[in-house]
Chain A
């Protein structure tokens, strides 16, 4: 399974846009990139998934450059409730696999 690298932590303020970048240098041709969110005392929750270029849904956008060796999760106008750990996952079987994740703290 492909290995991913993310920043350990990030800080932001309410109303700002947050971009979390993930490196997946060994991504295979058939691999998809998936992002999950995890709150304390809960299991991870699917946020968004993509293969290339840009994907947008009601909560986030995912940007994937042409070489697909990295991806960026963009959270528009974060609120305090977006404080969580965000995991980037890549793999061809879609089975969720997780690195250490990025702990995002949103300040008032």
Chain B
């Protein structure tokens, strides 16, 4: 079974520029999550989708972050404009259903963003 695919693996941008990350979940997984992991900390949930609808985006900084999941498959996370504090690894995860146990969640390898 293919895992969760993310691209790019690394990205360096200047502050105030925009950037987009892409995630392709495991085939058939209805739920998709974006996490932000700052160096030395655990991942923090930003947004969760059920199919193509947003379930919870309460921790997403909506003034600069946006995310979409068209057709309930792939998803993109965008930052515009980026700030220095956005430097982090952005992880995508997916699971078959909304109420799965922990073993149902699969994470991608993430995109490491550096804002200079």
Contact = CB atoms under 8 A, between A and B. Distances in A.
A100 B42 contact: yes
Interface of A: 32, 34, 36, 41-46, 49, 87, 89, 93-101
B102 A87 contact: no
Contacts of B110: 41-43
Interface in B28-68: 33, 40-45, 48
Nearest to A36: B102
A42 B44 CA distance: 15
Interface of B: 4, 33, 40-45, 48, 91, 93, 99-105, 107-110, 112
Identify the interface centre among A34, A44, A98, A99: most chain B CB within 10 Å of its CB: A44
Given A94-B99, A97-B45, A43 B33 contact: no
Contacts of B48: 95
B42 A46 contact: no
Given A43-B91, A44-B43, A87-B42, A96 B109 contact: no
Contacts, number: 57
Nearest to B97: A94
Given A95-B48, A100-B41, A34 B102 contact: yes
A44 B102 contact: no
B42 A101 contact: yes
11 contacts: A34-B101, A41-B112, A43-B108, A44-B107, A45-B107, A49-B103, A93-B99, A94-B102, A95-B105, A96-B93, A100-B42
Given A44-B107, A89-B102, A98 B44 contact: yes
A49 B101 contact: yes
Given A95-B48, A96-B102, A43 B107 contact: yes
Contacts of B103: 46, 49
B41 to A, nearest CB: 6
